[in-house]
Structures are given as C-alpha cells and as structure tokens.
Structure 1
Amino acid sequence: MKLRPVPTVLFVVPCYNEEEVLGQTVNALLSELDQLNLSDLAARDGSGILLVDDGSIDATWKGIQFWIDQDPRVNGLRLSRNKGHQAALLAGLSVVVDLADVSISIDADLQDDIRTCRDMLLLYRQGFDIVYGVRADRSTDSATKRFFANFFYSFMVFMGVEIIPGHADFRMMSCRALAELLRYTENSLFLRGLIPQLGYKTERVYYDRKIRQSGSSKYPFRKSLSLAVDGIISLSYKPLRYIAYLGVIMSAASCITIILIIADYVRGGTIQGWPSLMVVVTTIGGVQLLAIGLIGEYLGRVYKEVKRRPRYHVRDAVGALLKSG
C-alpha cells in the first residue's frame, strides 16, 4: 500500500484559565512533536502548536506569549471574550486548515494520551482522513461521572445523534475533511456530532485517559448538560416526534377514559370527583408545558441561527506560522 507523504501537523489546543498546566502541556507537546519528526510521521518544517485562549481571566495569554518567544513552533490565538470550548476549538481549526496537512485537537489538561497521536498519524499516512481518540474505559472517573457519561452517550444515540461513545474532542483530521467541516455554519456547535456526518474514511484508536494533575475541569455538570441539549436539538428532531407520539397516546387514553365514564354512568355508577379530575388536569398541564418548553428550545435555536452572528471574535494572532500564513 502506498503511503501518503509525511504531513505537516498542527496541534490545536483550546485553553481557558489553564495557567497552572500550560507549561507542562507545551513541553509535552513539543517533545511529542520531536518524536513525530524522528519517526517520519510529521514534517519538521510547518508543524507546530496553536494555543487558543478562550478569553481567559488568569495569566494564560501571558504564558502563551512566553512560549511563543521560546519556540517558533508555538503559536497563539486569543479570542476577545470567552465563547466556550467548542467555539474556541473551531476558531483554531479555522486557522490551521490552510496551514497544515493534518490537525490534531486536544485539551490543554493533556488527560488524553498524546502518544496516541503516533497511531493517528500512521493511519493518516495509510489513507484515513479522520481518526477518533476513544477512551478505553472510565476507571479514572468517579461512579457518578461514569454513570452520567454512559447515560449521555446512550441518550444521544437514542435521540438519533450520530456520536462515537467514549470520544470527546481528541481527534485527527486531514485538511480536506477539516475544510468540509468548516462548511457547516451553525452557531449551536456540537463538533463531536457534526464530524461523523462528513463521511470520510475514519478509524478509532483507544487509549487510557489520565487523571488531571492540576487545575480544574472546564466541563462541570451544568456545562455538560448544556452541551448535551445543544447536541440533541441541533442534530435531531426526534424529541418533537416523541412529543407528538405522547400527544397521540394521551388523546387515545382520554377517549378510552370518556368511554369508560359513559359506560359506568349508563350502568348507574357514581362518577368520581375532584381527585381523579385534578390528576388528569395536572398531568395534561405538565405535558403541555413540557411540549411548549421543548418547542421553545427549537425556536430559540432557529432565532439564534437566522441572525447569523459571528461565532467568535479574534483579538490577537501571534506566532511564526500565523505570520507566514
């Protein structure tokens, strides 16, 4: 099998308040880049790192500037304000699409095993355009987080979202696959649900996720829940269909109840009063409010999309590769 030429590789690393781990992260990525160069998996010229500061309020940007001065392979992109992990990642990917043959997105905490990048790039040279980094297990997570993570992926699949279980945003993409991804212009971003729709030749590599050494998770329960809702509503209309099914079932149940009440009345039975009435009213009222709220979520996304506002604003772009690009 004929291998692709050795590619230029850019790591895209979204950063939000990562002052504590930034030095370790850059050192580890530069060392890995050296190993990739030696293994003929990444070209020496044109390969590097792009650190995307998502409006951090600590000294993350100062740290990025320090590393840019230390090593020409390090580049920095600073957004004007915090726009969220998905927007920051997309901002970085939008920059590197014309600068490198391959992009590898990875979180700044480096809980994802960077040694897996060697397998990803080997698969790229064998003809794969997208390689997903997938967790082999969740033994490092707490029981609660493990339960919610498994529920999240199962529920997303149930709702019709095409998603890779155990995969977050650690992945390799060729420039042509990335260029096609950037044609998706929606504001409600859920990249791990969009990318499987591209249809290019894909593969998975499995790895053991490490425990975070310092700093704090940028995806607490509230943000994780918001991301899940965005993913479902932006990629699936099944919730609306299920609401319609529920309406049909409740209408059928109401018809049956009416028939039973009439039959009981004809036989001389006594029709029960307030308790049964209140149960019916509150049940129907609750379902109606749920349906209205769900429809409101979809309408809110439509409202957000039709305005076509920018997904992010770049404040600074610094680094040798960005200047040459």
Structure 2
Amino acid sequence: MTTLYLVIPCYNEEEVLPETSRRLAEKLDALEKAEKIGPESRVLFVDDGSRDATWGIIESLSHQDSRFGGVKLSRNKGHQNALLAGLTAANGRCDAVISLDADLQDDINAIDEMVDRFHEGNEVVYGVRSSRASDTVFKRSTAEGFYKLMRMLGVDIVDNHADYRLLSRRALAALLEFKEVNLFLRGIVPLIGFQSTSVAYERAERFAGESKYPLKKMLLFAFDGITSFSIRPIRLVTLLGAVIFGTSLIGLLILLIQKLFGQTVQGWTTLMGSIWLLGGIQLLCLGIIGEYVGRIYQEAKHRPRFIIDQIRLK
C-alpha cells in the first residue's frame, strides 16, 4: 500500500487548523477505505515561526491522532523554506508526498485524482487551477502577466500552478538535491524532468484568517522567481547599453555636422533631459545587476535555509 504524506506550511493559522485537520482526517479515512493509501500515511504541519497558538494546536492534534505530526522552525523563514523543511522531514518516510496550503483554498478532493495519476506511473502531479473567476481583476491580470513574463524569460513553469503538487519518493529525493538559498519551488520542480501530469481543481475562498501573501510579498516572490531562473534581464541591460551607445554615436555625428555648417542649437532642455534619461537608465541597470550580485552573495554564504526546533512525528 502507498504511504502518503501531506505537507502543510503554517504561519499564524490558529483559526483554520481545527477545520483543516478535521477535513484532512476524513480524506485520509476515505483514501484508506478505498485502498489507495496505507495506514502509515500522515499529515505533517510545518509551523513557520508562528506568533499565535498554531504550534500548540499542532501538538494537540499529534496527541489526539497519531496520523498528525508537526515540524517547528526556530523562526519565520517564509513559505518556500517552510515547505522545503516539511518535504525534508518527509523524505524517506513515504512513497509520495503532497504539498498544499493550510487555508483550505486547495481543493482536497483533488488528492484522489493525484494519487490515481501517481499509481499510473507519474512521479510529479501538478495541481492546476481550472479558472481564476474568484480572483479580482487586478490579481487575475497580474498572475497571467507573471506566467507570460516567466515564459518569455525562458523559465519552464506550469501555468496556474502554485505549490499544490504530488511528488514521488524519487522526485522528492531529486528535488532535495537542489541547494540554492533563493527558493522558487514552482520553477525548480519542472527541472527534475521525471514523468509528470496535471490535475485541474477549483480554488475556493479562504476558510478563515487572512492571506499571508499581500501585494508586496507577491511582487517580491515574483521578482525572486525571475532572478533565480533567468539571466535575460542582464542581457537586456547589455542590449539597452548597446542601443544607447549606438544612438549616442549617431547623435554625436549629427552634432558635428551641424557644427561644421554653423547650425548648432543651444538648448538646456534637451541637454538636461538627456542627462536625466541616461542617468536614470544607468541607475536602473545598476539596480538589476545589483540584484543578481546580491543573490550570488546569499548563495555563496551557504547559510542553512531553515533550522528545525522540534519534530513531532510518530
């Protein structure tokens, strides 16, 4: 029988955890009754340095039901690192692992089909949103723009997929071979290259609590994804510099011709406009290059991506 682990990052999720654990317990019961998974299957919550009663609830659940376990990080390290910590703890203990969010927006009924696709021989099964009708116009347009931009920059990414996915034991071991500090898992997983497929699901409204991904975090996350997987922005900077250099040579030639024919035009507006334009472009280019240098600096230090404080897993 297949041993399945469900890995769920949590940050200040005390409002939703009781309902989430109830629904997941029912789902495990149903899957085990259908003989799709074995009795050793588990739910593993990862407390990402929560400041509320999240860890206390996880401890209580582990005492009440041996199928629930927990990993407590020493401090908040962000969703991607918390997810990786849970996957690391699950490694070697299960035949397949499914990662999902704690807020019940990921339809847990899609787990059945994910397990079926796994039994058919797929080692990676992506949970893909069937529509974005529940999103605001702004969120929908920015999300679609993000996926298009990532593909334009040469990043292999699955449209409308976040972190709801199944990984086989072999795929999980391969994922943990990637050692970069700047994590963007939805970009790393397709690099594994094993047989994969997708399962469509309808994303629901958050059951309780507040979103842990406001606009600022979403933009930073998108920028991390771009700079972690593509050097095209650097190449665009090079191209922009070449275009400006070429344009400047043409402009200089025109000015020399005008000087020879006594047709020089004195204008502070043009001069100052050119200075400000070039200065702004230079600062923008330096900023982009600086982002890449900063990421190289972070990777070179080889600091741990997370530190586990406690593990409760039977």
> What are the equivalent positions in structure 2 for 1:173-322 lying under 5 Å apart?
173-320=167-314
Unpaired runs of 5+ residues, structure 2, are none
Question: Secondary structure, in 3 states, of the residue corresponding to 1:271?
Answer: coil
Question: Secondary structure, in 3 states, of the residue corresponding to 2:92?
Answer: coil
Q: Distance in 2 between matches of 1:210 and 1:164?
A: 20
Question: Secondary structure, in 3 states, of the residue corresponding to 2:264?
Answer: coil
1:137 is aligned to 2:131: yes
Return the offset for 1:262.
2.0
Question: Secondary structure, in 3 states, of the residue corresponding to 1:276?
Answer: helix
TM-score scaled by length of structure 2: 0.98
Q: Distance in 1 between matches of 2:230 and 2:94?
A: 33
1:34 is aligned to 2:49: no
Report the equivalent of 1:156: 150
What is the aligned counterpart of 1:13 among 5, 8, 19?
A: 8
Return the offset for 1:264.
2.5
Report the equivalent of 1:77: 71
Q: Distance in 1 between matches of 2:131 and 2:193?
A: 26
Question: What letter matches 2:26 in structure 1?
Answer: S
**Equivalences, count:** 314
TM-score scaled by length of structure 1: 0.95
Runs (4+) of structure 1 moved beyond 3 Å? none
Question: Secondary structure, in 3 states, of the residue corresponding to 1:170?
Answer: strand
Deviations 1:142-184 (A, max 9, x none): 1111121112111222222211110000000001001011000
Q: Distance in 1 between matches of 2:151 and 2:28?
A: 35
Question: Secondary structure, in 3 states, of the residue corresponding to 2:194?
Answer: coil
Question: Secondary structure, in 3 states, of the residue corresponding to 2:276?
Answer: helix
Q: Percent of aligned pairs with the same residue?
A: 45
Deviations 1:212-266 (A, max 9, x none): 1210111111111111111111111111001001011111111111122222333
Question: What letter matches 2:90 in structure 1?
Answer: V
Question: Secondary structure, in 3 states, of the residue corresponding to 1:197?
Answer: helix
Report the equivalent of 2:45: 51
Counterpart contact for 1:104–1:171, Cα < 8 Å: yes
Unpaired runs of 5+ residues, structure 1, are 1-5, 321-325
Deviations 1:256-292 (A, max 9, x none): 1112222233333232321111111111111111111
